[in-house]
Structure 1
């Protein structure tokens, strides 16, 4: 188990920042640290449970001991149980939290508005890129707009893990994958093919590609071409 180095004072632990653990059963002291062994809590110190980011961040600016739990081999992490710090520091952090509530709420709302505007702009750009990628003839422009809009809604759901949310691909590649996936599931018999056990990798690109090309400017009319007729 690796714990980040601390800035503990070798002379007075109460003046430093330590990572500590609960002592083993039967051992003296309140906590144990790698630097100092078993330790008793300094007079006037209190325990701050996790959950309040503002208070915890403020408390950690001064001397404190972070209490860690047992390392989870299965989960691969070490939970933080809370922070020991001077009681006066914790009380001051709570007072400051109350005093700045309105200010932080205004800042939060402003940030929320900015994120919403950024998300709206991203979706607009994504939808336009989908429309451009489809490149349908003029007579099918409305269909292209519908596909672009619905493909964007499907691919760009926040926290969905779908292709529209990834930062690993360029926009053009994300758009191509999003449009093909939408066409595959909504304008072909792809789902029916899967129900009959048809190999997914063999046909999904072919079917979606045929559906896109059938509407593009090189074609005079819209039709959904089945794989056997795409030669």
Structure 2
């Protein structure tokens, strides 16, 4: 019996099992968020949007359907290979490291669904915000949609099991040294797999410090996908608009 172990996020996001575990994510809620966000930001008709850490491209595809010219980028070659089937004249996907600027400017840069804080090198958190700034045109807005770490830490479920497509995913969660850590263990086709998700438990004050260092201005903070006011104890999301 082979055991696959890794603590490096790229291999987990590149694994087919990542997409199995999270297949029931709420698409309707994600689409409502994109509707609300683009209307709130007043992104111009046919405007250009960069979807940073786009995964398999579901947000990008929907934004493109709304009439925007969308570029989706992700570090995962597997995810980008999957997303490329949706490409058209105004929808493109590329493998790209979001801690480095993309060679173009946009009306909006979106970093959605807690796709931040995974980096092995602490400096890449600041580098990513600097890269977003570099990728915004003079009228553009940056958006980071992160979890509300305070809420998540307060409601952390230490252990549970989730069964999807006949696979029992044993999940263990803890908060340690500033990271929210999830250990994921399961058996599939007679092989044992162990993965780990590690996300920095950034709070609003941490982002404010990074924004100040990067020279960007925080304009608004929302606590959910309906863009309601952020409450550090009650809100599930931390959605920041900056430029």
TM-score class, shorter = under 0.3
TM-score by length of 1: 0.18
Which structure: larger Rg?
A: 1
Bigger share in helix? 1
Bigger share in strand? 2
TM-score by length of 2: 0.17
